Amino acid sequence: MSQNRRRFNRRSGTRAMKLDFISREAPVLIAGPTASGKSSLAMELAARDGRLIVNADALQVYGNWRILTARPSPADEAAQPHALYGHIARDQTYSVGHWLRDVTPLLTRPVVVVGGTGLNFTALTRGLAEIPDTPPKVRSLADARIATEGRAALLAELDPETATRIDPLNGVRVQRAWEVLQATGRGLASWQDDTPAPLLPMTSAEALVLRPEVDWLNARIDRRFNQMLTEGALDEARENLGDWNPKLPSSRAIGAPELIAHLRDETSLETAIAGATLASRQYAKRQRTWFRSNMLGWTQLSLP
């Protein structure tokens, strides 16, 4: 798809006309930062075209967080068909590879794939290296070394090609690259160079990335978190308090550590809210940066 920028006013009274440029036949991909209106747009397209809404967000797969990860509500799920939401237990890992395998059979029908996890979209449209799973012993050793030595120690042991490609400030990616090298004897870059053909090439999809104005998005983030509290986010965190494990992937839900800290009487609710909204804004900033660097060929929708 050619790079292009479209203005999309979601407050307009002519939304149906605004959707006319989006294909009715091709699979539609919608990426964008948190709170940017992705799910609402996906619902409109699903209603217009009879599409299945497929989740491409790494945190919305976990069943223990609905409110805090902004998963579709039960009413939304009843109104339009949804897939790959809340189907993973809190203590399970769920990689890009798992997601790609789960999404494969769903592409036989009209879909709109929506989420904020860029790696899922690149795996779908560019292919994913078929790297063996990391053995538990290697994962445990990596966890221990990250905790005691930090990511720099693992980064220093990567093969040169991988070290030049990876984001050195992203501890999760550094650890993953180190685990791959230890488990397989091959660097992550070598595996990536053997990436098979993509499941859904860009030429076969309508790829959209939402690019909202920063002030507009930050205001929405703040309002949405307050709405989450009204809808029961604190009760949801309380349900996760008993066996809370910050090392689990599901515990990366934005705002979860802050609310858990409040429930443990480690901080006030006001401080927890401020920390959670700040974390959401920072996460959105990282997403925007990633999309700018990796989705140059996607049609950009400017909001509001």
Reported as a single tens digit per residue, the pLDDT across 157-196 is 999 999 999 889 888 889 999 999 999 999 999 998 988 9
Hey, CA dihedral for 134, 135, 139, 142, is it positive or negative? negative
* Burial zone of 220 (CB within 10 Å; 0-12 exposed, 13-18 middle, 19+ buried): buried
**107 touches 48 (CB < 8 A):** no
pLDDT of residue 126: 95
Q: For residue range 83-128, what is the model confidence (pLDDT) as tens digits?
A: 999 999 999 989 999 999 999 999 999 999 999 999 999 999 999 9
pLDDT of residue 8: 55
Q: What is the CATH number of the domain that holds 170?
A: 1.10.20.140
Same domain, 8 and 155: no
Beta strands in the chain (DSSP E): 4-7, 28-31, 52-55, 82-83, 111-115, 206-212, 299-303
Same domain, 152 and 271: no
Give the pLDDT mean for 234-258.
96
Give the pLDDT mean for 264-270.
98
Residue 221: pLDDT above 50? yes
DSSP label of 192: H
Same domain, 57 and 79: yes
Same domain, 54 and 21: yes
pLDDT of residue 4: 61
Structural domain harbouring 175 = 136-193
Q: What is the CATH number of the domain that holds 113?
A: 3.40.50.300
pLDDT of residue 161: 96
Separation CA 286–CA 167 (nearest Å): 12
Total domain count, the chain:
3
pLDDT band at 10 (very low <50, low <70, confident <90, very high): very low
Same domain, 75 and 121: yes
Same domain, 259 and 122: no
Q: What is the CATH number of the domain that holds 225?
A: 1.10.287.890
Same domain, 84 and 206: yes
Report in angstroms the alpha-carbon separations of 14 from 8, 215, 272.
10, 24, 39
Report in angstroms the alpha-carbon separations of 222 from 14, 255, 270, 274.
27, 12, 13, 9
- How many percent of the chain have pLDDT more than 70? 94
Same domain, 106 and 209: yes
Report in angstroms the alpha-carbon separations of 234 from 92, 153, 196, 225.
23, 37, 43, 11
**2 touches 208 (CB < 8 A):** no
Same domain, 47 and 63: yes
Same domain, 71 and 209: yes
In this structure, what are the phi and psi dihedrals at residue 278, rounded to the nearest 5 degrees? Answer: -65, -45
- Tell if the pTM clears 0.75, that is, is over it: yes
Separation CA 280–CA 12 (nearest Å): 27
Give the pLDDT mean for 11-36.
79
